[in-house]
Amino acid sequence: MKTKQFKAESKRLLDMMIHSIYTHKEIFLRELISNASDAMDKLYFRSLTDEKVGMNREDFAIDLKIDKDARTLTITDNGIGMTQEELEKNLGTIANSGSLKFKNENKLEDDVDIIGQFGVGFYSAFMVAKRVTVRSKAYGSDEAYQWQSEGVDGYTIEPCDKETVGTEIILEIKDDAEDETYSEFLEQYRIQGLVKKYSDYIRYPIRMDMTKSRRKETENADKDAAPEYEEYVENETLNSMVPLWRKNKSELTDADYNAFYKEKFFDYNEPLLHIHTKSEGTATFNALLYIPSKAPYDYYTKEYEKGLQLYSSGVMIMEKCADLLPDYFSFVKGLVDSEDLSLNISRELLQHDRQLKIIAKALEKSIRNELTKLLKNDRAAYEKFFEAFGLQLKFGVYNGYGMNKDALKDLLLFYSSSEKKPVTLAEYVSRMKEDQTCIYYATGENIARIDHLPQTELVKDKGFEILYLTENVDEFAIKMLMNYEGKEFKSVSAGDLDLETEEEKKEIEEKSKEHADLFNDMQKALEGKVKSVRLSQRLKSHPVCLTSEGALSLEMEKVLNAMPT
Ligand code: ADP
Ligand code: MG
């Protein structure tokens, strides 16, 4: 038997494959399972036109087997298999994709989605295996062949015994080294976890014998004796197969959606709402998004990572794709599944993709619409949402250099002096008095404090509604908005409120003249501490108040002064 050499280029490429294309060696299983799924899709597709195949969709399955003593992991499929030539062509030439060829040559049905396209995934097996053996029998052939390789040094192909049509891939897992361990890939729970993570929505069952332990049933049990356990083996299907988001909305209940959320995103709480969209057009995708009912404990910290899971043909490509969400909606959880993403060769990262941008834009819009709907139809739920994530929306207005303000301004809530609850800017404006020109706001630590500020008393007394801003970011967001429907925001602490009638103004002027000496003396006494001392109409129950005349309110100055420089 002659060992064939990989072509020189192939050798270099293979070395590169094994050592640098993939950042996580665990993806080898995803690649091999995807290949098995493709092979079964091909035979299934064949069965649609060829009665002799004699197989239904339910007859296809992938079997995983761990042999710890032999240190092998075996992946078996009953797909279309490979002939001797195909073994040579597909596994002996890097970047040759039989699957891509198949996709191009056949007009595939909707329910066949071939995953392979680059012709490199198979070689990821060498990241964890010191030797790979592929035993395969092609559909329609009487002979079976075995391909074997230890990596860059080449491969052998020889006839072998194999009864059934399909392919069996045996990985001899590498020995642990000081800096790298491989034995984890012989642990059933690790393998189960990898199937769940990357291949949960492969359409065919992925099965494995799981060794479990249970309490032994003993007759006339002695109550005081320690319980006895026994091991037993159960063949389990590891993947859930049907992606929830590919089902029709009409088939699904809130309970289905919520259970999926809790399991997938590890939250004990029910989500506040879900958004399930399908889009066909400039971008074809399915998305299932959730808004949590509570902010995660690390939400307002640097540790929190935004992003949606990204799937391509049911295979997970990326766990947290940040580009799919704007920062101001970073609290959204969920996933996107799209068949027409341009993946790069490792299927780990996307090239800067136009498609991705289109999807992100569409998602932003549907999140915004859904929140607007919630605000309109279920105020209590919206207020709950705003309690958890309103701060992020306000940061969004402020951080976007005003770019996001139009998207967000109608989603904001501020506490109202007259309504005694959070209100929208639109609601405020709808209640404005005829002669009112601005939207008044007051800032402070909390509602009770603001309520007792001398500055607010007068404005309230004149019958105007005031928005109370209690978060540091509030006033920055307001400044960024500048106005709402042409109505400017004005702080009740600003110097030029202009609330007095002509008569009152005259009275002040006269009194100011009358007591000019007194004010001058006061100003001198407070030299350097205040800019000027004036008689004010603003005070009701308080003898004096501090105000500011610049662009910044006293509260903003406080925030700015507290910031590290
Ligand atoms: P890709 O899947 O992107 O085409 P791979 O390197 O993963 O590239 O696989 C190369 C080719 O080998 C596939 O296109 C397919 O033709 C063939 N192949 C791999 N695994 C199997 C399998 N289990 N059964 C049948 N053919 C396979
Ligand atoms: Mg592949």
Ligand 1 nearest atom to the CA of residue 121, by list position: 7
Question: pLDDT by residue (tens digit) across 25-83?
Answer: 999 999 999 999 999 999 999 998 898 999 988 999 999 999 999 999 999 999 999 99
Average pLDDT over residues 15-29: 82
Best mean pLDDT range from 1-5, 179-183, 382-386, 432-436: 382-386
Question: pLDDT by residue (tens digit) across 530-546?
Answer: 777 766 655 556 666 56
Ligand 1: centre distance to CA 54 (Å): 23
User: Which residues fall within 8 angstroms of residue 21, CB to CB, at 6 or more apart?
Assistant: 120, 124, 345, 346
Q: Could you tell me if the CB of 94 is within 6 A of ligand 1? A: no
Ligand 1 nearest atom to the CA of residue 166, by list position: 24
The span from the CA of 62 to the CA of 73, in Å, is: 13
Ligand 2: centre distance to CA 77 (Å): 14
Ligand 1: centre distance to CA 77 (Å): 12
451 - beta bridge partners? Answer: none
Q: Could you tell me if the CB of 98 is within 6 A of ligand 1? A: yes
In which element (H, E) is residue 455 found? helix 454-461
Q: Could you tell me if the CB of 265 is within 6 A of ligand 1? A: no
Residue 3: pLDDT above 60? yes
Q: Could you tell me if the CB of 36 is within 6 A of ligand 1? A: yes
Best mean pLDDT range from 394-403, 479-488, 498-507: 479-488
Q: Which of 416, 550, 557 is nearest to 496 (CA)?
A: 550
Ligand 1: centre distance to CA 544 (Å): 82
Q: Could you tell me if the CB of 166 is within 6 A of ligand 1? A: no
CA 53 to chain CA centroid, Å, is 42
pLDDT at 565: 43
Ligand 2: centre distance to CA 122 (Å): 6
Question: pLDDT by residue (tens digit) across 220-249?
Answer: 666 777 888 999 999 999 999 888 998 889
The span from the CA of 531 to the CA of 491, in Å, is: 19
Average pLDDT over residues 292-310: 93
Ligand 1: centre distance to CA 148 (Å): 15
Tell me: is residue 28 an annotated ligand-binding position.
no
Order across the sheet with 273-279: list the strands. Answer: 273-279, 285-291, 333-338, 308-312, 315-321
What's the whole-number average pLDDT of the chain?
87
Q: Which of 14, 33, 37, 38 for mutating ligand 1's site (highest number of atoms within 8 Å of CB)?
A: 38
Average pLDDT over residues 469-475: 90
For residue 277, give both structure tokens: 């969209």
pLDDT at 556: 60
**Which ligand has the nearest atom to the CA of 134?**
1
For residue 362, give both structure tokens: 């569409």
Q: Could you tell me if the CB of 353 is within 6 A of ligand 1? A: no
Residue 550: pLDDT above 60? no
The span from the CA of 455 to the CA of 442, in Å, is: 8
Q: How confident is the model at residue 262 (pLDDT cuts 50, 70, 90)?
A: very high
Q: Whose CA is nearest to atom 2 of ligand 1?
A: 116
**Which ligand has the nearest atom to the CA of 167?**
1
Q: How confident is the model at residue 459 (pLDDT cuts 50, 70, 90)?
A: confident
Residue 95: pLDDT above 80? no
User: Which residues fall within 8 angstroms of residue 210, CB to CB, at 6 or more apart?
Assistant: 188, 192, 233, 234, 235, 236
SS3 percent helix, strand, coil of the chain, rounded to 5, is: 40, 20, 40
